[in-house]
Structure 1
Amino acid sequence: MTITITQQAFWDLFTEVAETEKKCGGHNPILDECWNIFDTIYHFPKELGQGFCGEIELRDDLYLEISEYQLYDDLILKLPERQHPLEYSFYLAGYHQDKHFSAGNGQNRLWGSGLAPTDKFKSFKSEKIIELNVHMEPELFQLFIGKEKKQLPEELTHLVRQPHQEYYSRSGTTTPAMQVVLQQILNCPYQGIMKRMYLESKVLELMVLLIEEDVAARQGKNDMFALKHDDVERIHYAKEILLRNLDNPPSLIELARQVGLNDCTLKRGFRLVFGTTVFGYLHHHRLEQARKLLATGETSISQAARSVGFTSRSYFATAFRKKFGINPKEFLIANSRSYIELNELIG
C-alpha cells in the first residue's frame, strides 16, 4: 500500500517532543546520541510511521535537520511549485525516489536556489530512513564572495538562480571525507555557543566538499574511465566482501578474482564508484566499526582494535585520533560518563 499526501499536510502532522520526554532517552540510535544539539525535536507523524526529526537554526538563514524514522507504508509527498533555497541532503539509511533520481545509504544530493517545479517524492517502508539535511538561503551563500565582489565566480553561478529560473540539482556518492564530517556532526562534543560554532563550521565544510565535487564534475575533471553496469555490480559486491571481512580482508588481487574483475578495473572502478581507494574504504569502515564497539562500553580498546583487523594498538590509536579528533581512551571515558549521567537522570 502507498500513502499519498501533500507536503504541507505532511508538515502539519508533526508535533514537538516535550522536554520531559527528551530527558528519558530511548528513542532511537541516532537522535539518542545527538538530540541535545537541536533547538527542537519533532515526533514523526504517528499516522504514517514512527521516529523523530531534530532541527537547529545555526544562524539566520542556515538550518540543520536530522531525521530518523520508519514508515508503515510507502509514502509519496506531492510537492508544489515553490521557491527553493540552497540545500543538501545526506542519506545515511533508507531509500528515496523522485522524477529525476533515486538515493539510498551512502549517497547525497545538492540543490541550488531558484524555482522548484512540482514533483513527487517517494520514500519506502522497507527499512529505517536516516537523513541529514541543510538549508541555506542564497543571500547567506553570496556573503562568502566578499564585499568587494558583486558577482559569484562563473563556476558557481548555477547554484544561485533567479526566482523564475528552475533550480539546479545533482546527486553523488558520499566520500570518506564527507562521512568523517557527518560523524563529527552526529557526535558534537560541545554545548551552548561553541556547539553552534562547531556545527556551523561542519555544515559549511560539507558544503565545500559537495561544491568542490560538483565544480570538478561540471568542468570535466572527473575520471572518465567507463564502467559497464555489470562492472558496477561487481564493485559493489567487492565492497560487501570487504565489510564482511574487516578483520581479515582479501588482498586486492584476491578480491578482484572473487568478483570477476582484473585488479586494474577494480582499483579504478572502486575509486570512481565510492570516491576512494579499496584500502581507504576498508580503513574508514574498520574505524567506524571500532568506534561503535567502544561506544557500547563493553569492549576494551585492544579488543576493538583486534576485532576490526588492527594488530598494533598504537597505530590504531593514531588512526582513530586522526579520524575522530579524539583518542580511543578519551572516547571510551567520555561514553562511560554519558552512560552514568543518563542512568542518574532516569533513576
Structure 2
Amino acid sequence: MADKELVHESEQDHSTLDFSDEFDVTYPYPVKLGKGYSRYVNLRQGLDLDIANYQLHDKVITQLFDREHPIEYTFSLLGVNAGSYGFFGSGLAPEVTLQDSPVQPIAWVSVHVEPELFCQWFGHKGELPKNLQPLIRKSDQEYYEGYGKTTSAMQMALQQLLVCPYQGNIKRVYLESKVWELMALVVDQFLETQTVETTSKILNAEDIERIHYASKILLARLDQPPSLMELARMVRINDNKLKIGFKQVFGTTVFGYLHDCRMERSRQMLAAGRLTVTEAAKAVGFANRGYFAASFRRKFGVNPGIYLNAKRQKLKNSG
C-alpha cells in the first residue's frame, strides 16, 4: 500500500529521525499523508512499544493480509475510538482493511510482546495457566481478539508512560514497568470477560440450527463470503451469539471456520490436478497468490505448487 511505502521512505531519511536514546526513535509522519510522528521504542528482545500522534490530509486506506501476530494491546488516545483499547493474542491475524479519517487527530499507544516472553511473565516455568492459554495460538489458528474501555487505572499508567521524566537506561526500565503494568490491567479485564462468556455460552436447539445454516452459507460462498454482520442477518441471529455459537459448535471462530474450509477446498482442487495454484486460490477467495501460498504452507506444511506437481505426477503414473 502507498501508506506503508511512504512510511518506509520516511524511515530511510535519517536526517529527519530523532534518536532521544539508542533504543528510542521518532519518525516524522509522511508529509504526503499528513503531519505528526510515530515513535518506536525497543524495550528488550521480544518487547516493543509504539506511540503515534498524527493528523491526516485525506482519508487513508490500508490493507493488511493474513499474517502471524504477536500478543498486542493498543490504546486509542485520540480519534473515533478514543477511550478504548484492543487486546490481541498470538496466532493468525486475518486479512483486514483499515480506514483512517482526516476529520480529527489520531493518537495511540501500542505494545507488542512475543509469546515466549509473555509466558515468562504470566506463566510458571514457561507454562501458562489454563485461563490464559487462549492468548497463545499456532500460526494457522486465528488469534484472540477483544476490546474494552480504558479504565482510570489504565489512563494513569498511560499518562505516566507518555510523560516519562527519565533518559537512558533508567527511562528504559521505567517504560518497561509501565508497559507491564498496562498488560496486567488488560489481562485482568480479559479474565473477567472470559468468566462472563463462559457463564453465557448456552445455545438452544434453534440457535444451533442457525449456526449450522450459517456454516452452509460460508461453504457455498468461499470465494465471496458475507461479512460477520451480513451472515448474522442472513440466519437471523445476533452477531455476538453467532461468534459464541461457532466456537461452541465448531470449536473455532467464524473466520477460523471459513479459513479452514477455504484451505481444505483448495487442497481438494489441487489434488484433482485440473486447476493451477492461481486458479485454486481465486476459487476460494484469495486475490493474492503469495498470501494463499503462505496460508497453504502453514496449514499443510508444503508449498501449493509442490503439492500440485506431486498430485499431477501421481495421477499421470496411475493413468
TM value normalised by structure 1: 0.53
- Give a deviation string over 1:69-90, Cα, whole Å, max 9, x none: 1111111110011100001111
1:43 counterpart residue number: 28
Q: What is the rounded CA distance, in whole Å, between the counterparts of 1:116 and 1:209 in structure 2?
A: 23
| Count of matched residue pairs | 199
Letter in 1 for 2:71: L
Query: 1:127–1:36: structure 2 CA closer, same or farther, 3 Å change rule?
Result: farther
| Match 2:117 to one of 140, 147, 164 | 140
1:217 counterpart residue number: 193
Q: What is the rounded CA distance, in whole Å, between the counterparts of 2:165 and 2:22 in structure 1?
A: 9
Q: What is the rounded CA distance, in whole Å, between the counterparts of 1:13 and 1:129 in structure 2?
A: 21
1:157 counterpart residue number: 133
- Give a deviation string over 1:2-45, Cα, whole Å, max 9, x none: xxx3674354243367578859xxxxxxxxxxx67962111111
| Aligned sequence identity (%) | 40
TM value normalised by structure 2: 0.57
Once the 2 structures are TM-superposed, how far is the Cα of residue 47 of structure 1 from its aligned partner? Answer: 1.6
1:121 counterpart residue number: 98
Would you identify which runs of 4 or more consecutive aligned residues in structure 1 move more than 6 Å? Answer: 35-38
Letter in 1 for 2:162: L
2:165 counterpart residue number: 189
Query: 1:197–1:17: structure 2 CA closer, same or farther, 3 Å change rule?
Result: farther
- Give a deviation string over 1:156-197, Cα, whole Å, max 9, x none: 011111111111111111011000000000111111111111
Letter in 1 for 2:154: M
Contact 2:21 2:168 in 1 (8 A): no
| Match 1:60 to one of 31, 40, 45 | 45
Once the 2 structures are TM-superposed, how far is the Cα of residue 51 of structure 1 from its aligned partner? Answer: 1.1
Query: 1:200–1:187: structure 2 CA closer, same or farther, 3 Å change rule?
Result: same
Letter in 1 for 2:47: L
Structure with higher Rg: it is 2
- Give a deviation string over 1:210-253, Cα, whole Å, max 9, x none: 1100110110199x9xxxxxxxxxxxxxxxxxxxxxxxxxxxxx
Contact 2:26 2:39 in 1 (8 A): yes
Letter in 2 for 1:174: T
Query: 1:145–1:171: structure 2 CA closer, same or farther, 3 Å change rule?
Result: closer
1:307 counterpart residue number: none
Q: What is the rounded CA distance, in whole Å, between the counterparts of 1:69 and 1:166 in structure 2?
A: 30
2:65 counterpart residue number: 80
- After the TM superposition, which residues 258-269 of structure 1 pair with which residues of structure 2 at under 5 Å, given as runs? none
Contact 1:52 1:69 in 2 (8 A): yes
Query: 1:145–1:218: structure 2 CA closer, same or farther, 3 Å change rule?
Result: closer
What secondary structure is seen at the aligned counterpart in 2 of 1:14? helix
Once the 2 structures are TM-superposed, how far is the Cα of residue 48 of structure 1 from its aligned partner? Answer: 1.1
Q: What is the rounded CA distance, in whole Å, between the counterparts of 2:132 and 2:151 in structure 1?
A: 21
What secondary structure is seen at the aligned counterpart in 1 of 2:196? coil
Q: What is the rounded CA distance, in whole Å, between the counterparts of 1:9 and 1:121 in structure 2?
A: 16
- Give a deviation string over 1:133-152, Cα, whole Å, max 9, x none: 11111111011245x64531
Once the 2 structures are TM-superposed, how far is the Cα of residue 124 of structure 1 from its aligned partner? Answer: 1.1
Stretches of structure 1 lacking an aligned partner (at least 5 in a row): 24-34, 96-103, 225-347
